[in-house]
Amino acid sequence: MGKARSQAEVPDKQRINERIRTPQVRVIGAEGDQMGILPISEALAAARETGLDLVEVAPSEKPPVCRIMDYGKYKYQQKKRQHRTHTHQMKVKEIRVRPKTGKHDIEVKVNRAREFLEHKDKVLVTVMFRGREMAHVAEGRKVITEIIELLDAVAKTEAPPAQFGRRITCTLSPK
């Protein structure tokens, strides 16, 4: 059971316990049963007796409607409900390889890219060339093609491999 809260713990949005200033309120019990219209002192006593809070749920009604409930649990459920409606913002994650990157290292990068794609993020695959590696652009194209084939089950190619200076890039998005 929740503990009764003091007035200092509650934000001004919703009045609970001693913050309710009306002389009479319509009270709904902890189990959802109607307790009728009671003086505020009796309603507070009933809430304290159960170890819960008296929360004003409909302040505009005549008389205001209050419910006996665990306010902390109520706020937690509201926050959880709000979090559930939050949508995922798609991000672009990058994996970088070189033409001479080993097989196992490529597998590790592909597994990481697979995790990104399953989390609904896009993946930018980049093959970088340094120094004399520019003479072996075909090796870089083989590497990027291999990565695309390994990720074919979970991704579709959004932008095909294209060379920009010392890089070959390709964008993959989740299926």
Q: Any bridge partners for residue 69, and if so which?
A: 53
What's the whole-number average pLDDT of the chain?
Answer: 89
Domain end, chosen from 30, 55, 83, is at 83
Residue type at 160 in one-letter notation: P
Domain of residue 115: give its range: 92-174
Same domain, 18 and 76: yes
1 is a domain residue:
no
Greater pLDDT, 41 or 5:
41
Q: What is the CATH number of the domain that holds 170?
A: 3.30.110.10
Q: Answer whether 96's CB lies under 8 Å from 128's CB.
A: yes
61 is a domain residue:
yes
Same domain, 72 and 18: yes
pLDDT at 85: 77
pLDDT digits (tens, 9 = 90+) for 105-164: 999 999 999 999 999 999 999 999 999 999 989 999 999 999 999 999 999 999 999 999
Residue 91 reports pLDDT greater than 90: yes
2 is a domain residue:
no
